[in-house]
Structures are given as structure tokens and as C-alpha cells.
Amino acid sequence: MKAKLLILGVLHRGNFHPYEIKRRLENAMVECYTDVEVGTLYYAIRQMDKEGLISTVSHQRVARGGMRTVYKITAKGKTEFMDLLHRQFEQDGPVSQTLYGALLFLHLSDLALVQDLIRDRIARLDEQIAKLGPIRKELRPVLSTGGEHLLRHLDQQRRLDRDWLKGLLTDVKARRVRDVADPKRLAIDKDGRGIDGTAKLPR
């Protein structure tokens, strides 16, 4: 699901071949905060093409004689993307595992819907925190040291996620949601070159 979300999100910026999609996600450092391995995207792209979420726009010949297929997102793909994006905000679990990838595309979301989803998620975290307190107190006499630290971490993690979500909710409510300042930088390779491999972009 996460790979599909990331690929469709990138294709909202334009029509790209798989290598360019991979490069843009590498520049966004998605492997640092999601469990998606950028090298596995090619298979996901082929599957999404079969599902009708993306379609071929053209083929580009490359220097060594091969061909690159350029894809665009379809109407079906846009619907699927929005569903996947909003589902991430609805999903329970640590923020780091559920929302980090989705945050790249927060500016594309339905902010009114996201606002409601975040509120609901905060309410569920409040309930989980309230239930965990008595459990920790009851089990404290019999817990191992490891078990005690586990429950403490669980409590701290939920509180951290709740407070972080409150900050996110503040920005969403105020419509303080923007895209990256310079999307062209997502296309820069390690040598500072742009999409076509020749134009040097300013740093």
C-alpha cells in the first residue's frame, strides 16, 4: 500500500518514467522513514499499470539503446490515491509507521476530512492512554524490569503521538499546509543535474 501511495503521489507532479519516480523518492529520503525499499518500485509500477491506476504516455530511448516507459496517473489512480492517503490518517498505530509517507502529500488531501480523521485519532489515543494507566499500576508489583520499561515506552509513545497530532491538527485547521518550496529539487540527481541529465539546477 505504501509503495502505491508514494508512486501515485509522485505522478501527481507530472508524467515520469520509473527511474525518475525512484530518483524523486530517493531525494525525498523515503527509505529513512518508511519501510518501502525504493529498489522494489519497478515491480509495483508494473502491477499498477495492470490495475489501470497508471497508464503509458510515451517511450523514451536512452543512451545505451534501451527504452524507458513514461507513465501518467489515471482518473482511477487519482481516486485510489486519495483513498489511500486518507486511510493513512484513519489508521491506528504509531505515527512513524502510518503517517510519515502520507505527510509528503498532505497538501493534496481533503483538509476538512483530514481534520476530522486527526480529531478521531487523538480521541482514540486519549482512550488508550487512560486505559493503560490502571493496567500499569495493577501489574507493577509482578512486572519484570523489561516489562515495566515496555509499558512505560508504550505510554510515552502514545502521549508523544497524541501531542504531535495536536500540532498537526492546528496547522490543518488553519490551512497552513503547503507543498515543498521548490519541487524541481526533487528531480536533482547526486551530481546536481535535472530530469534530462544535462541542466544543472542551482543549489
Q: Which amino acid type is present at position 24? A: R
d(CA 96, CA 173): 22
CB 35 within 8 A of CB 101: no
Taking residue 20's Cβ as centre, other Cβ atoms within 10 Å add up to 19
Nearest residue to 114 via CA among 106, 123, 124, 122:
106
Sign of CA dihedral 96, 101, 107, 110: negative
Rounded Cα distance, 110 and 117, in Å: 11
Cα 177 from chain centroid (whole Å): 15
- 1, 47 contact by CB (below 8 A): no
pLDDT for res 62:
78
Distance from C-alpha of 91 to C-alpha of 99, rounded to nearest angstrom: 9
**Per CATH, the architecture of 2-187 is what?**
Orthogonal Bundle (1.10)
pLDDT at 76: 98
Instruction: Please state, in angstroms and as integers, the Cα–Cα distance from residue 44 to each residue in 21, 64, 193, following that order.
Output: 12, 25, 26
Residue 143 carries which DSSP code?
A: -
End-to-end distance of the chain based on CA atoms, in angstroms?
33
pLDDT value at residue 35: 80
Closest CA to 13 of 175, 186, 199: 186
One digit per residue, pLDDT tens: the chain, 203 residues? 689 999 999 999 999 999 899 889 888 888 888 888 877 888 999 999 999 999 999 988 877 767 889 999 999 999 999 999 999 999 999 999 899 999 999 999 999 999 999 999 999 999 999 999 999 999 999 999 999 999 999 999 999 999 999 999 999 999 999 998 877 777 766 555 554 443 444 44
Name the residue among 28, 187, 14, 178 with its Cα closest to residue 202: 187
